[in-house]
Amino acid sequence: MGYRLSKIYTRTGDNGETGLADGRRVTKDHPRVEAMGEVDSLNSQLGLLLADLAEQATAHPGLSAVIDALSPCQHRLFDLGGELAMPEYQALDQAEIERLEAVIDGWNEELGPLQNFILPGGSRLVAQAHLCRSLARSAERRCQHLNAVEPLRGSGLAYLNRLSDLLFVAARLIGLRTQVKEVLWQAAPKPKA
Q: What's the pTM?
A: 0.89
In the predicted structure, residue 22 carries a pLDDT above the cut 90: no
Indicate the pLDDT class of residue 1, thresholds 50, 70 and 90: very low
Domain 26-184 indexed as CATH 1.10.287.610: no
Give the DSSP H/E element, type plus range, for residue 184: strand 183-184
In the predicted structure, residue 27 carries a pLDDT above the cut 80: no
Give the pLDDT confidence of 75-86 residue by residue, as tens digits: 999 999 999 998
Averaged pLDDT for residues 107-121: 93
What pLDDT, on the 0 to 100 scale, is given for residue 62? 96
Averaged pLDDT for residues 106-115: 93
Residue 19: strand pairing partners: 25
Q: At what angle do helices 31-56 and 63-85 cross, to 10 degrees?
A: 160
